[in-house]
A = this chain, B = another copy of it.
Amino acid sequence: MSEAGATTAAVEDELARYGAMARDAMHAYLPEAEPRRHLWSLVAEYPGRGGKAIRPALCLASTVAFGGEVEEALPSAAALELLHNAFLVHDDVEDASLLRRGQPTLHAEHGVPLAVNAGDALVILAGAALRDNRRLLGTRLATRIGDEFELMARRTIEGQARELGWRRDVACDLEPDDYLDLIMHKTCWYTTIHPLRVGALIGSFDRVDLDSLVRFGFYLGAAFQIQDDLLNLLGDEAKYGKESCGDLYEGKRTLMVIHLLNETNGKDRRALERFLALERPQRTAADVAAIVELMRHHGSLDFAQAFGQGIAEAATDAFEAAFAEVPDSPERHFLRDLIAWMLERDA
């Protein structure tokens, strides 16, 4: 196995270990109650399908790297995973997605009404998990974490609104900077920045500057999202768990779409704009294949890959700045190794 391959395997072992801890913590908040068939079994559906556990892993590793114990961060990690699952359920409705973690989306299986309601329940359960921090960490720290959580949720919802707005308004005048600004809100805040900050808050007992983690989290989250966009186009559907090219069917403004918008004119540009103006059910497999072909022809995939590598470089710099005072530890190593893993992962 190559050195990079060994690192990838080690990162994935750690993700699995943290993921199992966070899953146990999260499952303790899923009620065994009635009505099961129309609510609580739906609520347990996505959490039971697993996931990469990037968010809780970041939160738990950051806690330990900054001097705390894993156990101190478990309710915060559970709250984040519960909110993440709530967002997945609602996003799947909003995006009319068909597959999630290799199985039909919740609304595809149970209809939009029960799915929206189950998503609401997951938000309330996240609040219940958060409130356990008082007992564990005391009022002052629990309050700080609650403030962070609220900020993160607002940012995420704002990012989602902006992206839905782009699609609704058939936005075509976009630059890579617009993409970065969007995913800062939509992805980074809750995938990387928030878990890192909460870990630092808990681990240091609110004694470190959280701002330096925004920069690192932003680049790390951007690398994650760019790779996610690429896997959506190129990945193995069975491994990746979402429908292949689902982002294109949904009309998402990925980095590749934005690159293509800026690289084409004449006939190709008109074909792309026409495609983006369609409603989702009108987009055919042939339409999607034609756009992927345009992307290959105009170098949009290479562009996104190269852009992702640049972002990963920036993430490494930002990591060194943010963790300059943090003593060496397996958790510090893991957080640094995550940068490369973001672009190497195939699921």
The proximity string for A residues 162-178 relative to B, scoring 1 for CB distances below 8 Å and 0 otherwise, is 10110010000000000
Q: Shortest distance in angstroms between A15's beta carbon and chain B's nearest beta carbon?
A: 27
Q: Are B131 and A150 in contact (CB under 8 A)?
A: yes
Q: Are B111 and A90 in contact (CB under 8 A)?
A: no
Q: Are B153 and A143 in contact (CB under 8 A)?
A: no
Q: Are A112 and B112 in contact (CB under 8 A)?
A: yes
List residues of chain B with CB within 8 A of the CB of A201.
Answer: none
List residues of chain B with CB within 8 A of the CB of A86.
Answer: 120
Q: Are B131 and A164 in contact (CB under 8 A)?
A: no
Contact-residue size bin, chain A (C-beta under 8 Å from the other chain): 35 or more
A165 to B114, CA, bound (A): 8
Q: Are B113 and A154 in contact (CB under 8 A)?
A: no
Asked whether A123 and B123 contact (CB < 8 A) given A116-B116, A158-B35, A168-B114, the answer is yes
List residues of chain B with CB within 8 A of the CB of A162.
Answer: 35, 38-39
Residue A120 contacts which of B90, B111, B114, B128 (CB distance < 8 angstroms)?
A: B90
Q: Are A117 and B160 in contact (CB under 8 A)?
A: yes
Query: A285 in the interface, Cβ–Cβ < 8 Å?
Result: no
Q: Are B127 and A157 in contact (CB under 8 A)?
A: no
A33 to B154, CA, bound (A): 11
Q: Shortest distance in angstroms between A167's beta carbon and chain B's nearest beta carbon?
A: 8
Q: Are B112 and A164 in contact (CB under 8 A)?
A: no
List residues of chain B with CB within 8 A of the CB of A114.
Answer: 94, 161, 164-165, 168
Query: A67 in the interface, Cβ–Cβ < 8 Å?
Result: no
In chain B, what residue has the closest Cβ to A121?
B157
The proximity string for A residues 159-201 relative to B, scoring 1 for CB distances below 8 Å and 0 otherwise, is 0111011001000000000000000000000000000000000
List residues of chain B with CB within 8 A of the CB of A154.
Answer: 31, 121, 124
Residue A39 contacts which of B38, B127, B143, B161 (CB distance < 8 angstroms)?
A: B161
Query: A95 in the interface, Cβ–Cβ < 8 Å?
Result: yes
Residue A143 contacts which of B37, B119, B134 (CB distance < 8 angstroms)?
A: B134
Query: A339 in the interface, Cβ–Cβ < 8 Å?
Result: no
A–B Cβ pairs within 8 angstroms, 5 of them: A31-B154, A90-B117, A94-B114, A120-B153, A124-B150
Which residues of A come within 8 Å of B, CB atoms?
Answer: 31, 33-35, 37-39, 86-87, 90, 93-95, 111-114, 116-121, 123-124, 127-128, 131, 134, 139, 143, 146-147, 150, 153-154, 157-158, 160-162, 164-165, 168
Per CB-CB distance, the 4 closest pairs between chain A and chain B, nearest first, are: A38-B165, A39-B161, A94-B113, A38-B161
